[in-house]
Structure 1
Amino acid sequence: MAAYQFKLPDVGEGIHEGEIVKLFVKAGDKIEEFAPFAEIQTDKAVVEIPSPVTGTVKEVKVEEGEIAIVHSVIAVIDAEGDVADQEEDQTTTEEPASAEPVKEEKTEAKEDNKTAKTETTSNKKQKVLAMPSTRKLARELGVVITQVTATGEHGRITADDVKKFAEGGSTKSAEADEVKLLTEKTSSADVAVEHEITGTEERLPLRGIRRTIAKRMIESKRTAAHVTIMDEVDATELVAIRKWAKPVALERNTKLTYLPFIMKAVIAALRQFPTLNASIDDEKQEIVLKNYYHIGMATATDKGLMVPVLRDADRKSIFDLADEITDKAVRGRDMKLEASELKGSTFTISNIGGYGAQFFTPILNHPEVAILGVGTIKEKPVVYEGEIVARPQLFLSLTVDHRLVDGDVAALFLSQVKRLIESPNLLMMEMR
């Protein structure tokens, strides 16, 4: 038997950490090689991590809900047979994993010394444990992260630590003392208000897909310059052509919705306005124009929003798109999509028409520069050929990244989508 240090593997796509969603084993359990050890939530999807060896779990170093860093030790397994000791990972910039038990006192002493020397070694490069989002926040606030005192688990610097430091919370500045004095003066009033609150509260941990959604939405809003334009579309012909095609679709067991038609109209318009099928490489300061059409489809699940991708949607028929939309929507709600099915989109469509909403302001699926929000189809009185009549209206909301897409281009794009939806027979002329 050999003690095998099981390190969180690199699952690719530049992911440096993951949340432990579920553990399948505990200390003392036997486990086979390739058997499920844990599920982790990355920025892309929930990924199952298998055991690399057969043996008995000696120690599990992580808990459900904890953020684990790639290459950090998450378990120790008494492996059967000869297993070479893992080499220390020299590529990570984070603090090393927890030390051996016999070295705990020395490790604590070193940490104390490091803290004591923080003020005198501010210009010296130090290794710190912090999430990428926390490091980014520090850069935005002009904070040298090595000077921040960590309060998180295992010495992790949290976003609150950075904010407090930026506000002078870790110094004895006059401003900090003034804030403290003001807080003390108002504390009694705060308590009085607090006593007036009635009812109960329930607090739930921000974990899994919901935490990923929150992180990505904030990243999108901070990075891109969001602008949303809206329009109404006469959907009379769209409703008619879907009604005409439904019996044919049923013969091939296809659930035909309006979305495949809208998707085809979007692709045709993207060919005419390629800057909406692009992204911005912020690091290299380059515009990336994409000559392929991978359409993301925002899908609601019990755990939050997911965006499965329909690859090469321009090469597929209306019926093919309808089948794929149904398949990925079902598997998305059942959390059975592969990570590869949730990445690489060039343009996203968010359809909330089924909930009765009309207009909304969709948030960009970063790093994409455009997203189309599709509202409900609703009969409204409109002026048609000089008379007021009731006709079905479809509501569209287009959000673009104004850094790349100007307002006139966005308006022309949406007008082209509108034209193709109002005259779906024109889509035949756009087929390739």
Structure 2
Amino acid sequence: MVEFKLPDVGEGMHEGEISKWLVKEGDQVQKDQPIVEVQTDKVNAELSSPVTGIVKKILFAEGDTVHVGQTLFVVDDNSEVEVAAAIEVEGISWTEEKLVLGVEEDRQVVSVHALQPKLKRALATPYVRQLARELKVDIEQVTSTGPSGRITEEDVQRYAASLHQKQTVVEVEVSPIFAKQDLNEIVSEVMNHSREVEQRQPIKGIRKKIAEHMVKSVSIIPHVTHVDEIEMDGLLAMRGKLKSIAEQRSIKLTFLPFFIKALCFALKEFPQLNASIDDATNEMILKQYYHIGVATDTQDGLIVPVVKHADQKTIFQIAEEISALAAQARDGKLTLNQITGGTFTVSNVGAIGGLYATPIINHPEVGILALHKVEKRHVVRQDESVIRSMMYMSLSFDHRIIDGVMAVRFTNRIKQLLENPEMLIAEMV
């Protein structure tokens, strides 16, 4: 027997969620055959069998959260294995009982380890139990359809729906002063309210990880947001000149690579923005490498792939990498290395609109820059009203190590480089 345990994936991630089982108990599997898909933070990991054999036991259902070191499945490869002596699953204590099977003719002895429950109760994940409580369902009365007799979310919802189909008696106390038509209206309103439908969806997968990360960020970091605006006419003109060259190289040239390049220059001049805080040692870590995270919208949620060493790349190279990372993010094919190690994040929401926002910092970073829509507005230049293409940008920063004055100077430098793109080119090494 071979137990397959959830491996340590590093980068502080210590658990995963079962996305999909690719086999079932009793299936014959080959070595390196994909067995299960696990959602680990923002990466979909496909785990394979380490040996050839038969899947004897699957210990978790789809949607369950598994911690590093816990056994996911057991494969019978005709070898012996020591099974954990005690396992705690959903509040049930399991103990090991050894059974010895003897064959008198050849004195062959086989050692079998069986898991026996001390207490019999419904098998369900913590989420399913919470769902049952919210729906006022006695989970012990629900018929299970999941593997190994486990009660699934669908089982609870099906049972709850059967309860709601039963006839409900509505009592309405009405004052005698109401006319008959008033009584009819009241009863109709109450009955209509009773027919209102709610739909509950579990927060899981990438959305669950995003929620946990956001709560951690706002709980630890004292956020402050500074908003400024940039006159984009000069950058529009420069991008127009470079766009045809980019198209010849099959490169999609947006404003984002210019911002990332300007950002790298500003981060070198204001190193506190390219840092993190070690809460355990109360130290500020100033990073002398520039890995810029790019917030990317996908069907599964917000993913932040990272452009590594952005300061050492050309605008065209950054544009190519952004396009490639975005495509991989949408296809769910990003590797762990591609979403970790960022030192600062950019969120570009201008393509879908919005005036300005207060973005949440991507912990453990200390700053995030949000870019918004470009629109023509009346502005005053040399005491005259003129029309310019303007964009708001929002900088959220960690007020523990960054003061408002520094934040303003930081955005002023970015603004200077982008409003005068010739200066941006002149600053390049």
* Pairwise same-fold verdict (TM > 0.5): yes
What are the ranges of 5 or more consecutive residues in structure 1 without an aligned counterpart?
Answer: 112-150, 162-187
SS in 1 for 2:10: coil
- Answering whether residue 404 of structure 2 is matched by residue 421 of structure 1, we say no
> How far has the Cα of 1:15 moved from its partner?
2.3
Per the alignment, residue 57 of structure 2 pairs with 59
Alignment of 1:151-190 (within 5 A): 153=125
Distance in structure 1 (CA, Å) of the matches to 2:292 and 2:274: 10
Distance 1:197 1:34, change over 3 A: same
Per the alignment, residue 383 of structure 1 pairs with 380
Per the alignment, residue 37 of structure 2 pairs with 39
**Structure 2 letter corresponding to 1:270:** L
SS in 1 for 2:35: strand
CA deviations over 1:124-170 (Å, ceiling 9, x no partner): xxxxxxxxxxxxxxxxxxxxxxxxxxx98489999xx9xxxxxxxxx
Runs of 4+ in 1 over 6 A off after TM superposition: 94-97, 154-158, 192-195
Distance in structure 2 (CA, Å) of the matches to 1:194 and 1:344: 56
Per the alignment, residue 4 of structure 2 pairs with 6
CA contact (8 A) 2:93 2:119 kept: no
SS in 2 for 1:403: coil
Per the alignment, residue 336 of structure 1 pairs with 333
Distance in structure 1 (CA, Å) of the matches to 2:316 and 2:32: 39
**Structure 1 letter corresponding to 2:295:** A
Distance in structure 2 (CA, Å) of the matches to 1:200 and 1:313: 50
Per the alignment, residue 398 of structure 1 pairs with 395
* Residue number among 238, 242, 257 corresponding to 1:241 in the alignment: 238
CA contact (8 A) 2:29 2:54 kept: yes
CA deviations over 1:263-311 (Å, ceiling 9, x no partner): 1111111011000000001112110000000000000000000000000
SS in 1 for 2:241: helix
Per the alignment, residue 145 of structure 2 pairs with none
CA contact (8 A) 2:28 2:54 kept: yes
- Answering whether residue 303 of structure 2 is matched by residue 306 of structure 1, we say yes
Alignment of 1:8-23 (within 5 A): 8-23=6-21
**Structure 2 letter corresponding to 1:104:** Q
> How far has the Cα of 1:400 moved from its partner?
0.3
CA contact (8 A) 2:366 2:397 kept: yes
Alignment of 1:67-146 (within 5 A): 67-79=65-77, 82=79, 85=81, 99-100=95-96, 102-105=114-117, 107-108=118-119
> How far has the Cα of 1:250 moved from its partner?
1.0
> How far has the Cα of 1:375 moved from its partner?
0.4
- Answering whether residue 338 of structure 2 is matched by residue 326 of structure 1, we say no
Per the alignment, residue 129 of structure 1 pairs with none
> How far has the Cα of 1:347 moved from its partner?
0.2
- Answering whether residue 303 of structure 2 is matched by residue 291 of structure 1, we say no
> How far has the Cα of 1:350 moved from its partner?
0.4
SS in 2 for 1:405: coil
Per the alignment, residue 130 of structure 1 pairs with none
What are the ranges of 5 or more consecutive residues in structure 2 without an aligned counterpart?
Answer: 98-113, 134-171, 173-188
Task: Give TM-score scaled by structure 2 length.
Answer: 0.76
CA deviations over 1:382-429 (Å, ceiling 9, x no partner): 112332121100110000010111111111101111111111111123
* Residue number among 215, 218, 242 corresponding to 1:218 in the alignment: 215
CA deviations over 1:234-285 (Å, ceiling 9, x no partner): 0010100000100111111111000000111111110110000000011121
Distance 1:157 1:367, change over 3 A: farther
- Answering whether residue 242 of structure 2 is matched by residue 230 of structure 1, we say no
Further displaced range: 54-63 or 7-16: 7-16
CA deviations over 1:43-62 (Å, ceiling 9, x no partner): 24221111111111111111
Task: Give TM-score scaled by structure 1 length.
Answer: 0.76
SS in 2 for 1:104: strand
Distance in structure 2 (CA, Å) of the matches to 1:340 and 1:272: 27
Kindly tell me the number of residue pairs found equivalent between the two proteins: 355
CA contact (8 A) 1:72 1:96 kept: no
* Residue number among 255, 265, 268 corresponding to 2:265 in the alignment: 268
Distance in structure 2 (CA, Å) of the matches to 1:71 and 1:401: 35
Distance in structure 2 (CA, Å) of the matches to 1:196 and 1:268: 59
Structure having the higher Rg: 2
* Residue number among 198, 206, 211 corresponding to 1:209 in the alignment: 206
Distance in structure 2 (CA, Å) of the matches to 1:15 and 1:326: 27
RMSD: 3.0
CA contact (8 A) 1:8 1:69 kept: yes
**Structure 2 letter corresponding to 1:337:** L
CA deviations over 1:341-374 (Å, ceiling 9, x no partner): 0000000000100101120010000000000001
**Structure 2 letter corresponding to 1:322:** A
Percent identity between matched residues is 42
**Structure 2 letter corresponding to 1:396:** M
Distance in structure 1 (CA, Å) of the matches to 2:279 and 2:57: 42
Per the alignment, residue 101 of structure 2 pairs with none
**Structure 1 letter corresponding to 2:6:** L
Distance in structure 2 (CA, Å) of the matches to 1:235 and 1:203: 44
**Structure 2 letter corresponding to 1:233:** I
Distance in structure 2 (CA, Å) of the matches to 1:349 and 1:400: 12
SS in 2 for 1:350: strand
Alignment of 1:356-371 (within 5 A): 356-371=353-368
CA deviations over 1:39-78 (Å, ceiling 9, x no partner): 1112242211111111111111111100012111211211
> How far has the Cα of 1:7 moved from its partner?
1.6
Distance in structure 2 (CA, Å) of the matches to 1:155 and 1:308: 30
**Structure 2 letter corresponding to 1:50:** S
CA contact (8 A) 1:71 1:89 kept: no
